[in-house]
Amino acid sequence: MENDKSAKIQSISEIPLGHKIAMTDLKEGDTILKYGHDIGKVVKNIKKGSTENWLRSEEEVDFLMFFNRDILIRRREEFNQKGVRFKFLGDLTDSKIPEENKDLMKETEEITKNNNTLNLVFAFNYGSHNEIHNAVLNLHNENINENLELGDIESSFYNFFQYPEVPFPDALLRTAGEKRISNFLLYQLSYSELIFIDALWPDVNEDILDDVLLEFNKRNRTYGRN
């Protein structure tokens, strides 16, 4: 069945699993890039490392740091030429992150800041609880002498998040048969469509994304009205 490539999805988030498998060729990046061209400008959030990852073994933490560096060293210029804009969501000031990783992420954001074909947001050292707590703290510090009403907070709270210009995801795609959100974009996912698939992240191809898009377009998005 031919898929409608003019679908409504403009922002999709993903929680991929299996870092070592994904290391093989990073082909998922090429698939998403091509698909992004087909359906229009897409904001894509990919969870590549959470604040909870520091609890893993030293070997796996070292691998995650290497994985981050490898993506940026080997693929950054290629993605830049294709018009991809990188953003890194999370606490990048953490002393546990190697300085080389910090420098590469900062350089990549600067190099690609004027690109507009596809927005690729990597959640790195990210935890949604931390993001919300920081937003509360920033709101408090900026309005410490103000007597705020609930309406004031409702209308401006998201402005205190790290990237308030990034829209809320239309959909969350979780791979590998897992059916949980794992402290990822808890505030932003309030009305996102949650789609769970059994395929592993490196195996996600255009056929699978076609099916995801078809599933998304079957959903009746009421935003709480029903």
Reported as a single tens digit per residue, the pLDDT across 48-75 is 555 456 556 677 676 677 667 877 888 8
Close Cβ partners of 65 (under 8 Å, ≥ 6 residues apart) = 97, 98, 101
Where along the chain do its domains lie?
11-127+167-218
Map residue 87 onto helix, strand or coil. strand
> Residue 209 to residues 3, 22, 65, 175, 224: CA-CA distances in angstroms?
10, 17, 28, 12, 26
Determine the Cα–Cα distance for residues 201 and 199; give it in Å rounded to an integer: 6
How crowded is residue 106: how many other Cβ atoms within 10 Å of its Cβ? 12
pLDDT of residue 198: 94
How crowded is residue 221: how many other Cβ atoms within 10 Å of its Cβ? 14
Question: What is the chain's length?
Answer: 226
pLDDT of residue 15: 52
Under CATH, which number does the domain 11-127+167-218 receive?
Answer: 3.40.1180.10
Question: What tens digit of pLDDT does each residue of 157-211 get?
Answer: 999 999 999 888 888 888 889 898 889 999 999 999 999 999 987 788 888 888 9
How crowded is residue 62: how many other Cβ atoms within 10 Å of its Cβ? 12
Amino acid at 47: K
Orientation angle between helical segments 27-39 and 206-218, nearest 10 degrees: 50
- Evaluated on CA atoms 89, 91, 93, 95, the torsion sign reads negative
Question: What tens digit of pLDDT does each residue of 5-20 get?
Answer: 344 555 556 554 433 3
pTM of the shown model: 0.77
